[in-house]
Amino acid sequence: MLSRGLGPATQRVLTVAGRNTGVPRRTPIAIVTLAGERYIIAGYPSAAWVRNVLAAGTATLSRGAQVERVELHEVSVGDRVPVLREFLRTIRGGRSFLTVGAGATDAKLTEAAGEHPVFRLDRDRRRT
């Protein structure tokens, strides 16, 4: 659906080079916007796309015919709580991807932050 431009407005397809093969790998993700910055969150720290992003540092986001190259910067564990809270607040179905629920306290979110990698998205400024 996303490749046709359909689905929730926050959803995109993340395409990143495989860390071992270099073959492009695609996964649907939800983008959270907080204080003018965009973020993506992983439900599992060992997800293949997380390891690929850590290795590559860049990827593309697509939805329909729109494609955007981005740089991905991992957010430190200590800075993840506001992003996780916004994810729970704004992403429909987001609770099922996190180990905490929508009403989680900051203490619970702090405990869970290490289990959920968060990446800030910036437009890729490198020339291709």
Q: What is the pLDDT of residues 24-74, one digit of tens each?
A: 999 999 999 999 999 999 988 889 999 999 999 999 999 888 999 999 999
- Structural element, H or E, at residue 38: strand 37-41
Tell me how many helices (H) and strands (E) the chain has.
Answer: 3, 6
Cβ 46 vs Cβ 100: under 8 Å: no
What is the rounded distance in angstroms from the CA atom of residue 62 to the CA atom of residue 82?
25
Cβ 71 vs Cβ 122: under 8 Å: yes
Residues contacting residue 93 through CB under 8 Å, at least 6 positions apart:
none
Whether the CA torsion 1, 19, 122, 98 is positive or negative: it is: positive
Question: In this structure, what token pair is assigned to residue 56?
Answer: 């590559």
Residue 92's pLDDT band (cuts 50, 70, 90):
confident
What is the rounded distance in angstroms from the CA atom of residue 39 to the CA atom of residue 96?
18
What is the per-residue pLDDT for 44? 83
Confidence (pTM): 0.88
Cβ 126 vs Cβ 88: under 8 Å: no
Count other C-beta atoms under 10 Å from residue 57's C-beta.
Answer: 15
